[in-house]
A and B are shown apart, each in its own frame.
Chain A
Amino acid sequence: MSAELVTINTEWLSDCSGCHIAIVDLHEKILAVLESVRIQRCPVLTDIKDYPPAKIGLVSGAIRNEHDKQAAIEMRNSCDLIIAWGSCAVFGGPAGAGNVHTREEIADAVYLNNKTTITTTLPNREISPLEVSVTPIDKVIEVDLYLAGCPPHPTYIFDALLSLLEGRTPKATKESVCAKCKRQMKKSDVSEIRQHTDGIPDPDLCFLSQGYICMGSATIDRCLSPCPTNGVPCTGCAGATMQILTEPNRDIRTEIADRMARMTKIPREEIIKEIEKSSKSHYSYTMASTMVSEKPTFLIKKWIHEANEDYEAAHG
């Protein structure tokens, strides 16, 4: 019987392990998957340290250091089909913030002049040297399928695996986080941007209508919209929608601003400026991907510099 099972390897690179935990969140549904697959290498479940040959390889995490690069290559060599699993593997994820700084700046801030601990030396053993830049895994290996999400909701992982086993197209759509959010979008007279700490948002009304910046409309739904449903504006963890990725003239900040300016009385340029002020947060999941970073309008170093200057001027 075991000869007929589809073999799976998983590997985590620079990530938080959330994607692997999402497998556990399949709960009893995992039994349906296990009827058809045999999980071999899986850092959270098995003690297999090498890379046995497998049919499917799930790789989560970004390429941040030399170890990540080697592990990704090992996965590619051992698996017939590689799925970039989660936003770090697909877009680079939050580790991509490292691309705003040089490796020397990072080492200095973390080890040499750390503000919260006393350290004076750089580690030279046991820690893998950093790559020049943070990249999604497809910079290093050929990827067969991409499943974004932070982590992808177990529903999507389950469906992706089952569809592969059954040889059908997955149900994942190109709809955004708004598609599953139950808040109503209504035009309002709000004329000022509100910070997330300002007041208590109306639970039935869209955040954009209330003046709160929410990334739902610029983010692909791979989550079933738990954050806006529970009172938290979307932070864009599943990455940008397909129209932002495919169209050079569309960008995360302009897409949000276009819609928010139509729902409120806040000028479009003001919203764009506000998003640029906290660009490391708003682009945190996608900035390492060339699909976003190579857009001619993506000027994150300039935005960070301007935000720092504004801060210095205000708090001098």
Chain B
Amino acid sequence: MSTAQTVEIHVHEQACRGCEMCVDICPTKVFGFDEDKRLCTVGHAQDCIACLSCAYICPSGAITHSNYHQVKNFYRDLEFSKRMGKFL
């Protein structure tokens, strides 16, 4: 059974501070860096394994992913999850 799908990576350019931490942390070298604009670039999205390390390390929260299988956090109880869904 094939579950192949391409993960999509979105970088909010106005929020990118050019720290290069996503470039350093990515295990599959998905990101590049534009020295002139001082912004990270998505070079090889097809290599992304959706570990989300880049999204977690990004100081701005500028990197988001879509089209990937999301693992639910079962260690959180229902009451907590309900509350998180109400945050504006």
Instruction: Check B17 for interface membership: any CB of A closer than 8 A.
Output: yes
Instruction: Check B27 for interface membership: any CB of A closer than 8 A.
Output: no
Residue-wise interface mask of A (254-269) relative to B, using a CB-CB cutoff of 8 A (1 in contact, 0 not): 0000110011000000
Instruction: Check B19 for interface membership: any CB of A closer than 8 A.
Output: yes
User: Are A184 and B57 in contact (CB-based, < 8 A)?
Assistant: no
Instruction: Check B32 for interface membership: any CB of A closer than 8 A.
Output: no
Which of A185, A242, A248, A263 touches B87 (beta carbons < 8 Å)?
A242
User: Are B83 and A138 in contact (CB-based, < 8 A)?
Assistant: yes
Instruction: Check B49 for interface membership: any CB of A closer than 8 A.
Output: no
In the complex, what distance in Å separates the CA atom of A245 from the CA atom of B86?
A: 13
Instruction: Check A144 for interface membership: any CB of B closer than 8 A.
Output: yes
Task: Sort chain B's interface into a size bin.
Answer: 20 to 34
Residues of B contacting A113 in the complex (Cβ-Cβ under 8 angstroms): none
Residues of A contacting B80 in the complex (Cβ-Cβ under 8 angstroms): 291
Instruction: Check A110 for interface membership: any CB of B closer than 8 A.
Output: no
Instruction: Check B88 for interface membership: any CB of A closer than 8 A.
Output: yes
User: Are A245 and B84 in contact (CB-based, < 8 A)?
Assistant: yes
User: Are B86 and A185 in contact (CB-based, < 8 A)?
Assistant: no
Residue-wise interface mask of B (8-26) relative to A, using a CB-CB cutoff of 8 A (1 in contact, 0 not): 0000101101111100100
Instruction: Check B38 for interface membership: any CB of A closer than 8 A.
Output: yes
Residues of B contacting A174 in the complex (Cβ-Cβ under 8 angstroms): 61
Instruction: Check A143 for interface membership: any CB of B closer than 8 A.
Output: yes
User: Are A263 and B88 in contact (CB-based, < 8 A)?
Assistant: no
User: Are A185 and B61 in contact (CB-based, < 8 A)?
Assistant: no
Q: Which residue of B has the minimal Cβ distance to A262?
A: B21
A interface residues, Cβ below 8 angstroms from B: 83, 138, 143-148, 156, 160, 170, 172-176, 178-181, 183-187, 206, 208, 216-217, 241-243, 245-248, 250, 258-259, 262-263, 291
Q: A246-B84, A262-B21, A262-B57 are in contact. List 15 more A-B contacts (CB 8 A).
A: A145-B88, A146-B88, A160-B88, A175-B61, A176-B60, A178-B59, A179-B12, A179-B62, A183-B17, A185-B18, A186-B19, A187-B20, A208-B59, A217-B59, A263-B21
Task: Return the 5 tightest CB-CB contacts between A and B, nearest first.
Answer: A217-B59, A185-B19, A179-B15, A179-B60, A178-B60
B interface residues, Cβ below 8 angstroms from A: 12, 14-15, 17-21, 24, 38, 56-57, 59-62, 73, 75-76, 80, 83-84, 86-88
